[in-house]
Amino acid sequence: MNSEHKTKMQFIEDGKEIRLSFPILFSEPTLFADGRPWEIEELSFSMFNDSPIPILIINRDKTIRYLNPAFEELTGFSMKDLINRNVPYPWWTRTSLEEMPYNEIRNIERFYQKKNGKHFWVEVTSFPIKIGDEITFFLSSWIDITEKKRSEELLRLALESTGNGVWERNLQTNEVFYSKSWKEMLGYEEHEIGNNIEEWSKRIHPSDMNMLYEEIEKHFR
């Protein structure tokens, strides 16, 4: 049976005291290795505040409830900058204004901007937190993938320069990169083919489908 505990956090920024309180759920009492119980406040605070992964908590009304120091370090925005801030969030760019990735379980890549104006890529994993049957707030963790995206772009440019038709599938997001040459070989313009696996599979002849999927499966064994 779940039990609810209110975790209180206190911060001092520029002489201003900021107090936060939000519920954390535990299905069972949490113990140290030697059997001693954790203090709920100690465990909850450490999970978020000491995490090296940027964490953001959003209220149901889309106002910002909490961000940890790792989030501040990544974005340059402080607790004082963001607490109770509503949409549009200051890290949004024009390409991200249309979507708020916190209202369901999701894992997506987003292009954002830091407080200093520098752009960066993150992989956002977000999900709703429920108390009983009611969604109370939304939690998301961010991973900086800027260098990964730069490497992918360099690879794309290198592949384009060879004139070979190439496609590459991201098994985590299920997105697929199709090179410009690949699209041209099939008689399409760059914008006429999207980035999902169906763009490839729907162009396979039905008699070849089973053989191709058998070969793909071999690579996952």
Amino acid at 97: L
Q: What is the predicted pLDDT for the residue at 112? A: 95
Check whether domain 147-218 has CATH 3.20.19.10, yes or no: no
pLDDT digits (tens, 9 = 90+) for 94-125: 766 555 545 567 788 899 999 999 999 999 99
Ranges under pLDDT 50 in the chain: 1-32, 36-41, 101
Q: What is the predicted pLDDT for the residue at 85? A: 94
Cα gap 57→131, rounded to integer Å: 15
3-state secondary structure of 155: helix
Q: What is the predicted pLDDT for the residue at 55? A: 93
At the second CATH level, the architecture of 3-144 is 2-Layer Sandwich (3.30)
Domain boundaries, the chain: 3-144, 147-218
CA 64 → CA 58, 100, 197, 210, distances in Å?
5, 12, 35, 49
Kind and range of the H or E element at 11? Answer: strand 3-13
